[in-house]
Amino acid sequence: MFLFHGSNSKIHTPELDKGRSPLDFGVGFYMTSSKTQAIQWAMRKAKRVAHGLPTLNIYYISEEILTTETLKIKRFSGPTLEWLDFVVSHRSETYEGELFDIIIGPVADDSVMRTIRLYVNGIYTKEEATRRFKTEVLDNQYLFATKLALSHLIFKEAIIL
């Protein structure tokens, strides 16, 4: 399967500690299966840092690796109560749970983060927040959180947009 990473430069060899923090699933290398989403990320990143060129980095990983017990993988099927707790704890840098090689699930984009902030501030209950997520179309993200996980990625190409 192909995964995409939007950036302001070519990233032949991803590193775990280069991204910003705190993010939805913690520190690591984030990708998506959506080419469109990665292109949007590349455009935003290049504009935000004001250097480099928007670049779509393309990687391949065997789907078999994602279904075997070689890697410890956490999957969220959608914006569930568990996903909400997971994102809030990582965004607040208080996560103390189990560690994973790869985490797959929805992206907490700007509109979702507004709802999460209302939940964190006690305006919405957890149930109300997750009910509101169901009206959102959420893109996916793959976090590669360990060197072992990254070792299964094969860089294919970088396309300057």
Q: Determine the pLDDT at residue 103.
A: 97
Residue 69: the pLDDT is: 85
List the pLDDT tens digit at each of the 161 positions of the chain: 999 999 999 999 999 987 767 899 999 999 999 999 999 999 999 998 888 999 999 999 999 999 888 899 999 999 999 999 999 999 999 999 999 999 999 998 877 889 999 999 999 999 999 999 887 778 899 999 999 999 999 999 999 99
Cα gap 19→41, rounded to integer Å:
13
Both tokens assigned to 145? 């959180």
Question: What pLDDT does residue 111 have?
Answer: 79
What is the torsion angle, in degrees rounded to the nearest 10, for the CA atoms of residue 49, residue 117, residue 30 and residue 105?
-160
Backbone φ, ψ for residue 102 (5° rounding): -135, 140
Please state the pTM of the whole predicted model.
Answer: 0.92
The number of angstroms, rounded, from the C-alpha of 22 to the middle of its chain's C-alpha atoms is 11
CB 76 within 8 A of CB 82: yes
Cα separation, 76 vs 108, in Å, equals 12
Spatial contact of 77 and 29, defined as CB atoms under 8 Å apart: no
- What per-residue confidence (pLDDT) applies to 100? 97
According to the model, what pLDDT value does residue 35 have? Answer: 96
